Amino acid sequence: MATAAAPKVYRNFINGEWVEARGGKAYENRNPADRDELVGMFVSSSEEDVNQAVDAAKEAYKKWRLVPAPKRAEILFRAAEMLVARKEQYSREMTREMGKVLAETRGDVQEAIDMTYYMAGEGRRLFGQTTPSELPDKFAMTVRQSIGVCGLITPWNFPMAIPSWKMMPALVCGNTVVLKPAEDTPLSSYNLVQVLVEAGLPRGVVNLVSGDGPGAGAPLTKHKDVPVISFTGSTPVGRLIAEACAPKFKHYSLEMGGKNIILVMEDANLDLAVEGAIWGGFGTSGQRCTAASRIAVHKSVYKEFVGRLVERARALRVGDGLDAATDMGPCINEAQLNTVMNYVEIGKGEGAKLLCGGTRLEDGTRAKGWFYAPTIFGDTRANMRIAQEEIFGPVVSIIPVENLEEGLEVANGVVYGLSAAIYTRNVNRAFEAARDLYTGIVYVNAPTIGAETHLPFGGTKQTGNGHREAAITAVDFFTEWKTVYVDYSDRLQRAQIDNN
């Protein structure tokens, strides 16, 4: 009689070796589209494992920081080339563990490719400044210096792109890394680390520990030898990380929640606005920090826009992301599905009008997955919970507004400030919105998702703590400035005292 093959057990990567967790425990990683499919078993790390990884990273830092930045960059370039070659394989594996459709996981891997190439280029550009001194025979300049061991904690919705946003700038700047990926999607991080190892990264420079937040994430944030923490996830967890980092004055970057909005003006191209709203609201099943979960629509086009949007949402095909016919995949897990269902009930109770969706999908091939129908609420008031709180699922609330001024007031009337968009053919309104929307990202005639790696990514208010990811701003976070004065006058010069 045939027997099922034993599941593959993925181990931690510490000091250049794949090792078991000290506690000997492991957890299941299952396909959210079919919970009968076991993607793999991943070890559950504890504080002891984190300490081991930090020790390895701390020791490796002594040599890695002295490797010339262009040489560090060459390793990243080789890694990017490998990612290109393995893009399809890694994309399919990501869909199996995370659920989003194959077109989106290909985009996720492509973002990692783009970020790795970009940061490889920065290896020959880590520019400082030279400036004239106010005194004779004196030279003044600034240089960037690495910081040390960087603890990186990443989410499940972009399981390769976001780790690349953090790892690649940290590495090219001369830091070493301990990565704790989301427990729902560790395989994609394993693939990214494997590529870096094969590209020639020295032992201990990158370390990976899998597990949950309390077991592995919390010890990493509190570790005395980890001066840098970069986190992407929920605002409540980000607050805990800030509290853990503050007493030791660590560098910490928090990229957290969003309640993003699309403004649709009366002069908008409605066909384009509907397509943008569908992509913004239901891409990745709404499980993006940049998802367009609110749409403020001018009352003069409200009825027409809503009719078109509901028709398009009802036509979306929900199912296994590996099926080419699928438009939207499942929620990541049962807990997230329950959160979505609870918010739908909250919306009904608040008096919003359920226009479509509002049900779990359990028929046929979807019976063993965490699927939910694309859901739209109409006649939503801006102060309703479904229009204020991050749901992180395929739920969109539509709010009628009288004019742009009211739309801007609605847009800014939440605790988050990540991304916003406006659809209009009036260039004056477009620039007014770009000026007055208090968010980190603004799109004109495009949805709230679509960030590019060579521009800063991040938000205001409770979305973040002022730092930005990607682009040169990531280099700013993972380095410290050092000012260097070289006095070749062969005499004591006392700056302002001798220069008055």
Tokens representing residue 109 in the block: 């891997």
Secondary-structure breakdown of the chain: helix, strand, coil percentages, each rounded to the nearest 5: 40, 20, 35
Q: How many residues does the chain have?
A: 500
Identify whether the C-beta of residue 420 lies closer than 8 Å to the C-beta of residue 430: no
Closest CA to 343 of 396, 382, 417: 396
User: Which spans in 352-414 are helix H?
Assistant: 404-412
**What are the residues facing 398 on neighbouring strands?**
295
Tokens representing residue 317 in the block: 């095909």
Report the chain's terminal Cα–Cα distance, integer Å.
94
CA separation, residue 290 to residues 140, 254, 417 (Å): 42, 15, 10
**What are the residues facing 150 on neighbouring strands?**
177, 228
Identify whether the C-beta of residue 296 lies closer than 8 Å to the C-beta of residue 264: yes
- Long-range contacts (CB closer than 8 Å, 24 or more residues apart) made by 272-279: 272/423, 272/445, 273/305, 273/423, 274/305, 274/308, 274/309, 274/312, 275/312, 276/421, 276/423, 276/445, 276/446, 276/447, 277/309, 277/396, 277/447, 278/309, 278/312, 278/313, 278/316, 279/447, 279/449
Cα 74 from chain centre: 25
What is the side-by-side order of every strand in the sheet holding 34-43? 9-10, 34-43, 26-31
Identify whether the C-beta of residue 329 lies closer than 8 Å to the C-beta of residue 285: yes
Closest CA to 77 of 125, 126, 105, 113: 113
CA–CA separation, 306 and 283 (whole Å): 18
Which helix (H) or strand (E) is 190 found in, with range?
helix 186-198
Tokens representing residue 389 in the block: 């709180």
Tokens representing residue 399 in the block: 């709010």
Tokens representing residue 366 in the block: 């979807």
- Residue numbers annotated as active site: 255, 289
Sign of CA dihedral 341, 422, 233, 14: positive
